[in-house]
Structure 1
C-alpha cells in the first residue's frame, strides 16, 4: 500500500509539473456508469506475456501485452488480442493491485485507480504475466484496466450489473451501514486551527487516531475540503485507506455536521449511491457498535 500511495503522489507531482498536461482529460475520469455505457467491448482477460508488437514510447521500443479472453462482459472480443498502448512488464511479480477486491473506499470515492494518464495526457497501462484484468477496449480511462483477483470483486460486479442494465445510474448501491463498514476509520472532530487545517479528535467511532488530525498542509491548500474554515465547527472524517496518503485528499472524506447529522448524498467524485443520504451521529455509533 505504501508503494501505491507513493506512486500516486509522484504521479500527481509529475502531472502538475508537465506543461502538456496539467490535469487529466475529462473523458478519463467520467462516472463508471457512463464508461460502461459508452464502451462497446468490455472483457475480462488474462495477460499471457509479451506480444510480437512494439510501440515507441519516448524514444524506446516497448512490447505490447498479449491477452487471452476469459469472459465477454459486453460486446465480442477475439480469443487472443492486444491493446493499443497496453504494455507488458517483465520481471518479478508484485503484490496484486486490486484494492482488496475493490472494497477500499478510496477506489470509489477518490478515483485511486491502478493506472493514470502519463504527463503527456496519454494512457499507457502496464500489465504483468498471468494477471487478470477487466479491460474497456478502445476507451482510455483511469478505470479501464483494473486488476481482478476474485469473481466476487466489487468492481467486476458493478460493471456486470451496468452491462446487463444500462438504465442504472451506478453499478454499486450500498446501505450507509455497509459504506461505513468499508472505511478504515471514522471520527468526529472540531476545527482547532485553520492553518492546515487541524481538527481536534473528539470522538472515535472506529479506528485509531491521535488527539489531533491534520487534513493537509498549506502547500496542498488547493484540496481544501471545507466551504469555510471556522474554529469550533464540527466534522466527521472518514479515512478511506489503511495508511495516511502523502496527499490526504486522496485518503479521506470530510463531512460537515449539521443538526447532529451528516449528508452522504451528493459526495463530489463518488461513484457509489448510499442510502439513506442523511445519517445521524447516533446512527453512526450504532453502525459500529453492531459490526462483528
Structure 2
C-alpha cells in the first residue's frame, strides 16, 4: 500500500478564553489578518482537546493508528501506534501565567493526564521581550510560598531572560516558566498519546478576566494550582544564569516557518512544512 503525506488543516486555534494573552502574529501568518487575537495554533496534535485534522477528512491520530509503520518509523517498531509529539505556534501579546509541568509519574495525575516537557524556538519578538525561566539564584521554596501567601508581586524572584531570534530553550518538567509579552515562538512538547498535558499555574500577574477572556478588573481570576506547583518544582538545580546555561542553545535565525502560507505535512519520514 502506498502511503502519501498527510496535509494537516490550518486554523486549529485555541479560543481567547483559554489563551487571553494572545497576539496577532498567528492570524497574520495564516492569512487571517481580520480575525481576533490568537494565542496558540496546534500544528501537530493527537491531544483530545485540539486534535489535528487532515485536509479532506479525518483526524491525524486515526491515520497514524492505521499506518503506524509508515508514519511513525522507529516509534512503531517499539509497538506504538500514536505519537507523543505536540507542536504549537504560540504568540504572546501579554505575559503568560507563571506555570510548571509535572513529570509523567506525578502521583496526583489522573489516568488520562500526562506531564508536558517542552522546548521553545524563538521566531520573532518585540524589542526587549523575553522569557521568565525559573527563579533567581538562591530563591528558596519558603521565599516563594511567603510571597504568594501575602499576595505580593512575584517578579522580583523570577529570572528574566531577553531573547533573540533563533534562541532555543529546553524546559524540563519541574521548571517554572512563563513566556513574556511580545514573544512569538514554536513550541514542541511531549505528551503521552491519548492523554492531556497538565499545566499547574503558580501566578497570573494579578489579572482578572471577563467570560470572553478579555482583561477586566471586575472579572474573575484564572484558577491557580499553587500547592501542586510548589510540589513539582525542582528546587535542587541552580537558578538564574546557572539554570540558563543548562537549558539554552542559540541555533541561529533559520526562519523555520518559511513563507506566510506555510502548511504542515505529516508523512513517511516525519513532519515537514510546505
TM-score category of the 2 structures, normalised to the smaller one: under 0.3
Structure with the bigger RCO (C-alpha within 8 Å, sep 6+) is: 2
**Structure with bigger gyration radius:** 1
Alignment TM-score, normalising by the size of structure 1: 0.24
Alignment TM-score, normalising by the size of structure 2: 0.25
Higher share in helix: 1
